[in-house]
Amino acid sequence: MKLLKLTLNNFGPYFDNQSMDLDVSDNAPIILVYGENERGKTSLLRAIRWCLYGEVHNQGGILMDEREFANYDARDRKEPFNVSVELEFEDQGVKSVLKRWMKVRENELEDTRIEIISRGVDLRPNSGNPVAERDIPEQISRMLHKDISDFFLFDGETLTRFEQRLRSAETSAALVRTSIEKVLGLPALQLMSRDIEALAAEANKEVQRVAKKSAENEKVLKDIDACSTAINNKQNDLVELRKIGKQLEEKNLDLEKQLAKVDSIKEAFHERKAIRDNKSDIQRDIGEIKEQIKGRISESWWAPAMPMLKRKSSEIDSMLSSNSQLLGQINDLQRKKIDLQQQVSTKRCSSCQQVVNDEQIRNAEKQILEIEAQLGSLPIPINNVDDVAFTKRQLSDFLEDSGVEERLRELDQDVLKRELRIDELSNKERALTEVLAGNTLDIAALESQYQRASEFIRDSEKEIEKKEFELTELKNQLRILQNSLNRETNESSPIKQEATLLSTLEEVLRDSLEGFRHSMRERVGEEASEIFTQLTTEPDYNGLTITGKYYLEIVDSQKRIISRRSAGAEQIVAMSLIGALVRCAVRQGPVIMDTPFGRLDTGHRRRILEWAPTIGTQVMLFVQSGEFDRERDIKFLGNKVGREFRIQREASNRSSIVGANYG
Amino acid sequence: MVDSNSDNQNTTESEETRSVFGASEEGNRAIQYLVEEKGWFQDERAAFRAALAYGAAKKIEPTVGGKYKSKWNIGTLEQAGRIRTLLIESGFTKDPYTLVNAIGDAALKEMYEKAKAGYTLSSILFDN
């Protein structure tokens, strides 16, 4: 399976549509994604997991409430919106698009304030029909099974858990071991072997029933009976041993639960720290916004009076304009009056100088009176125009920056949104603080008790292994006896032929299965040891050795097992196991590592970077500046980087993905 | 800026023209709240000037008989003469400088009450 494109819509901190082209060549399989803490690297990993499997566990292994994936900015729209992740990929030469989505809306009554209205998942191969929704999980499982995805898509912070789980005697260890065998392709062979064994047992019973009729088979039958009794006894021993083992495990279970509590306490500490960091980021944002508010109001402190000042300014404008019209009107009337007065006194027309008669003079006198009346009815013009114009100029000083009100309102809203988010985070922080305050565990004592109990369980497991070996020997003996019974009896019947065939098949399959399991385990051990030697900077470490349960022990140059391991060493061992499993896996998939270098020093970091391009055909590394300095570290990846992205901070809860171009 | 300790004078409204300004004890408490608790203004002077604009816009009823602690002179409060224009245009036409303290003080008290009640700065300043 190879990822080609990832598109997120309102998922986590990614507002609206954001996408990443992930197609890389085998020559440059590395995809680097840079992002600081709390920016959304883990959200990307969660988005991929959610899209593939419809569920995501947090770093503490707890199933996450998917409503938490709804983007905060999209919530602000106050209307239903889609949260979706779309993954384009290629598997066995077929390109497909997998899209998982949910439609959500705000609901104050829900504890997450989000309600899911509808949801769905689509899988569309480029050629052929869309896959029915109920068949999608199976289709995805065929490509990258959920149980084994931990080995392909993992969070560096939880890396050491694989090894811890393998060492534990609890069910989770068995699950991890089963998952490992799934990666290696063992279950198909196991199933076949089990079926053949059951069929052979049935056929052999029938053969014995027929053989009892003949006296010549008496000795062989007696031996078969003795062998069967021994097998029964051995099986009873095993049941007894397993019972004791179970009792021990039950005793240990309480310790494990308490240790799980330790994990959850560590998780709570981690989560609380993340919340506090997030809060302080938001506080810093608020501080920055308030600085903008202060700056704005300081530059334009008169802003509250601006509407009133604008009104005044426009009143002055209209007053000056009316005054100018009035003066024009008065001038026109006065000019006309002077002309008429001249006509009356000279008895000649003022424009053409022709003599006017008496009636025309009377008319002129009448018009003079009308003009005087008009002038008398007009308002008195402003006599201090200069003063008014000065006031107008003063007012215009106030009106330069007219966007203050709008900007201040926006900034206030930005602050409010963030304060609301801080309230939510504070509630979560309070709940976590209560959890942490109730912690009275003596972690050191618990770990030592757990260590002792685990040693007991390991001893009993060794005893079980021994008994299982003896049982296998007895079963082989029984098979030989049954085969001899088949040979000794003259009678030839189809059931005898069937029994012989099935017994032979069972033997071949059991040997093959054990041989395959053994050789795969050896191969995983060798590959892991080779990777470990490549990765470790400790000169005294000679490599790794693998146990029957896939637990990897560090071996020093004196061939001694190193029992105490640092967190960093634990991470290198886990990474070696993952690298080995990916190399030996029956189907290849993308490898995604989130914050893989967190616990590692520069020496180990360099070695992992040099090794990373060899892990698979598509390797995504999500890194932060504290663990990866591009200028310093990119050279360790050689020319193997196919794509680079940067998660950019837009606001405290909002990020965007941009293609990083470094020329 | 006038040093508040060395120039701590109680004044009345009867002065013809003021050249030093400040708020009453209650007004100063409001300033402190708006500047320090709410973080809305760069300093006390910024808060006082914004309060004057708020008071002018609202044509606020000036405080009567307040005792003001002078903190700024006309040069340090605002040099371009905008305060005078603002108050005149708002209708405080008669020697507006005599009303600066009383208008600022009354506005500060109102702004403080609204801030305490949870209003945002933009809502206080612009939603009259």
Nearest CA in chain A to B78: A301
Contact B53 A416 (CB under 8 A): no
Per-residue confidence band for A364, with pLDDT thresholds at 50, 70 and 90: very high
Contact A397 B46 (CB under 8 A): no
Within a 10 A sphere around the Cβ of A569, how many other Cβ atoms? 19
Q: How far is A312 from chain B (nearest CA, A)?
A: 7
**What φ, ψ does residue A204 adopt, rounded to 5°?**
-65, -40
Q: Is residue A290 a contact partner of residue B36, using CB atoms and an 8 Å limit?
A: no
Q: Is residue A147 a contact partner of residue A550, using CB atoms and an 8 Å limit?
A: no
Residues of A in contact with B122 (CB under 8 A): 405, 408-409, 411-412
ipTM of the complex: 0.85
Residues of A in contact with B56 (CB under 8 A): 302, 304-305, 308
Stretch B95-115: mean pLDDT: 90
B92 Cβ under 8 Å from any chain A Cβ: no
CA B23/CA A642 separation, integer angstroms:
66
CB-defined contacts A:B, below 8 A: 85
B85 Cβ under 8 Å from any chain A Cβ: yes
Domains of chain A: 188-275+437-512 (1.10.287), 303-377 (no CATH)
On the question of pLDDT at A110 being above 70, the answer is no
B127 Cβ under 8 Å from any chain A Cβ: no
Average pLDDT across chain A, whole number: 82
Q: Is residue B74 a contact partner of residue B80, using CB atoms and an 8 Å limit?
A: no
**What φ, ψ does residue A260 adopt, rounded to 5°?**
-65, -35
Nearest CA in chain A to B128: A304
Within a 10 A sphere around the Cβ of A244, how many other Cβ atoms? 15
pLDDT tens sequence across B40-76 = 999 999 999 999 999 999 999 888 788 888 888 888 8
- A54-59 long-range contacts (CB < 8 A, ≥24 apart) are A54/A100, A54/A121, A54/A137, A58/A267, A59/A155, A59/A157, A59/A158, A59/A267, A59/A270
Contact A302 B82 (CB under 8 A): yes
Q: Which two tokens stand for residue A142?
A: 């065929």
Region of A107 (left: φ > 0; alpha: ψ -120 to 50; beta: rest) is beta
Per-residue confidence band for A488, with pLDDT thresholds at 50, 70 and 90: low
Between B56, B120, B126, which is nearest A405 by CB? B126
Q: Which of A290, A301, A309, A408 to mutate to test the interface with B (most CBs of B within 10 A)?
A: A301
CA A83/CA B33 separation, integer angstroms:
42
Enter the pTM of the model.
Answer: 0.52
Per-residue confidence band for A171, with pLDDT thresholds at 50, 70 and 90: very low
Q: Which of B44, B76, B126 to mutate to test the interface with A (most CBs of A within 10 A)?
A: B126
How high is the pLDDT of residue A653?
76
By CB atoms closer than 10 A (0-12, 13-18, 19+), residue A166 is: buried
Between A304, A391, A395, which is nearest B126 by CB? A304
Stretch A156-172: mean pLDDT: 57
On the question of pLDDT at A14 being above 90, the answer is yes
Per-residue confidence band for B85, with pLDDT thresholds at 50, 70 and 90: confident
Between A308, A391, A408, which is nearest B121 by CB? A408
Measured CA distances, A327 to A33, A166, A391 (Å): 75, 101, 20
By CB atoms closer than 10 A (0-12, 13-18, 19+), residue A154 is: buried
CB-based contacts of A583, cutoff 8 Å, min separation 6: A527
Residues of B in contact with A306 (CB under 8 A): 57
Nearest 10 degrees: CA dihedral of A270, A271, A274, A280? -120
Residues of A in contact with B126 (CB under 8 A): 303-304, 405, 408-409
Strand partners, A659: A645
B114 Cβ under 8 Å from any chain A Cβ: no
pLDDT tens sequence across A288-313 = 999 999 999 988 898 998 888 888 88
B90 Cβ under 8 Å from any chain A Cβ: yes
**Lowest model confidence (mean pLDDT) among A63-67, A84-88, A424-428, A511-515:** A511-515
Q: How far is B49 from chain A (nearest CA, A)?
A: 6
